Amino acid sequence: MSVTIETPRAPIRTHKRGINWEKWGWIYMRASGIVLVVLIFGHLFVNLMVGEGVKAIDFAFVAGKFTDPFWVVWDTALLWLALIHGANGMRTLVNDYATQASTRRILHGALLVSTIALLALGTLTIYAFDPCPAGSPAELLPSFCAEVM
């Protein structure tokens, strides 16, 4: 009797053409991770360690940072790198623990929608920001508002 045996160790499907998104996601986690260590440690040091720390954070403090181009670039990079890093990490967890196709679809969709919405909201917060809103009490505003008005 003769039996036909498939070629041993032949790949089930040949290599898919196109961009290998999982590979780039893997690279992104490591590349963004290194940058985030610097950005977040700097963020925490300036906001929690320098001066009065967390006690000093109020509207005037944030307004001072969002009118400084250095912190605008810093916080924009922080927002985009951290949120995409976090959302991709949560995608890994969904892939690991959500076993039903419908659950996975709902959770992946929720991650995509929330990430896009919060990136838009966060970017708008940094760039469409008025440090001296009209009609607000002067003691709540940064000191440079008095010079402008």
Partner 1 sequence: MATSASNSGSSASPSVTIEVPTPRKKSVIPGGTLYRGREGMWSWVLHRITGIGIYFFLLVHILDTALVRVSPEAYNAVIGAYQTPLMGVAEIGLVGAIVFHAFNGLRIILVDFWNIGSRHHVALFYVVLGLWVVTMLAFTPRHLMNVFGW
Using CB under 8 A, list all residues that contact partner 1: 1-7, 30, 33-34, 36-37, 40-41, 44, 48-49, 52-55, 57-60, 62-63, 66, 79, 82-83, 86-87, 89-90, 93, 114, 118, 121-122, 124-125, 128-130, 133, 136-137, 140-141
The alpha carbons of the chain give a radius of gyration, in whole angstroms, of: 24
**Measured from the CB of residue 17, what is the shortest distance to partner 1 in angstroms?**
26
Contact at 8 Å (CB) between 142 and 131? yes
Nearer to partner 1, 17 or 128 (CB): 128
Token code pair at residue 44: 């925490």
Note whether 43 and 53 are within 8 A (CB).
no
- Of 18 and 125, nearer to partner 1 (C-beta) is 125
